Amino acid sequence: MSCVYCDLPEIQAREIARNDLARVLPTNIPITPGHLLVMPLRCVTTFSELTGEERAAIFDLTARARDALIKEYGAEGFNYAWNEGGDFGQTVPHFHIHIVPRTTGDTGITKYEPREFLYRPGSREKTPEDELQAVAKAMRVYF
């Protein structure tokens, strides 16, 4: 399977930094100036395929990129995101985290209610506490 992040020389040439297991580069369609991607060197599709060492390497570069974006772009805040699954926003089958630097008044994502920009548009009532407790109880068996 071909991967644009792994195979295209022009993307390879954009690399900003790397460590033993991950790298950071600018995205080709930024939401705001400085929008970066952090990804493993190994081509895997999902977060669950990453080793613990790869996860640590990715988050190390994410923290370093954040600090650099504050210095270079005056970022006041950030949106971090990743998508999994072609039907759910993942357009390249190589896991990557988006780091979107934000400043007051920028033209990035302007609504922060997840139901308005990720799923389920429209209003939804708050879930009753007993239902949330049932979810927590059901999920605890997996941890």
Task: Tell me the CA distances in angstroms from 116 to 78, 121, 123, one per residue in order.
Answer: 18, 5, 9
Residue 18: how many other CB atoms lie within 10 Å:
15
Instruction: Specify whether the CB–CB gap between 24 and 36 falls below 8 A.
Output: yes
What is the spatial distance between Cα 111 and Cα 123, in angstroms, rounded to a whole number? 14
Q: Which of 35, 94, 96, 98 is catalytic?
A: 96
Query: Is 96 a residue of the active site?
Result: yes
d(CA 54, CA 43): 11
Catalytic residues: 96
